[in-house]
Amino acid sequence: MGALEGRVAIVTGSTSGIGLGIARSLAAEGCSILLNGFGEPETIERLRAELAARWGVRVAYSSADMRRPDEIEAMVGQARHELGRVDILVNNAGIQHVAPVHEFPVERWDDVIAVNLSAAFHAIRTALPQMLERNWGRIVNIASAHGLVASVHKAAYVAAKHGLVGLTKVVALETAETGVTCNAICPGWVLTPLVQKQIDDRATRGGIPVEEAKRALLAEKQPSREFVTPEQIGALTVFLCSPAAAEIRGAALPVDGGWTAQ
């Protein structure tokens, strides 16, 4: 039996990248999963079936758009209906846009804040009452090194991730005397499709090979010169759901190769 046998988790933005790594790590510990995200229906069904078959857990899927509070509420309701309840909520969905503040498109600001920050609020407010009812729950918000420090041209992303760290602390304080915990994980560079796009853009702008752009990106911020892996983020998520982490509350835990130690 896995450490999370019988538990049920929602992982937003889990059809690729960090979210998929987290979903796999939780499923490997016996946790049933509600996947969420965009992608080709065939690809998503293949992922859903793979997780279910490999670890013998129930796996559902929601296409809820994280910009829409009504769809987020429906996603939580679907998890309760199809999987029985929600024990673990991982707010991972995120998008990025890069531009100087004075040139930042207003609609892109609104989208980044909605997906990276407001969606977590809507998911938490909808899922938390049932956690409190059972006096057990784990909320894990996937923030970023950019939730602790800033970089140029990322006004919306940095604002949203700083806000997510703040939201984490408030929820942790409000649940401090209960069996529900809320924490944030703050990854540095993880080689996800989102980061790969930034590498490709850098290579194009600089007229340099992609591998050189990748090395330059790491050298700028991450002293270890190594990417964090989705599996490492998944393992930390599993730990935060374990009894050993019951008194870790309101923490923002960097997994960033030394980025924020500088």
Which active-site residues does the annotation give? Answer: 157
Beta-bridged to residue 253, according to DSSP, are: 185
Distance CA 258, CA 218 (A): 11
Per residue in 178-210, is it b (16+ CB within 10 Å) or e — as a string?
eebbbbbbbbbbbbbeebeebbeebbeeeeeee
Beta-bridged to residue 181, according to DSSP, are: 138
Name 115's Cβ contacts closer than 8 Å, sequence gap at least 6.
66, 67, 93, 94, 95
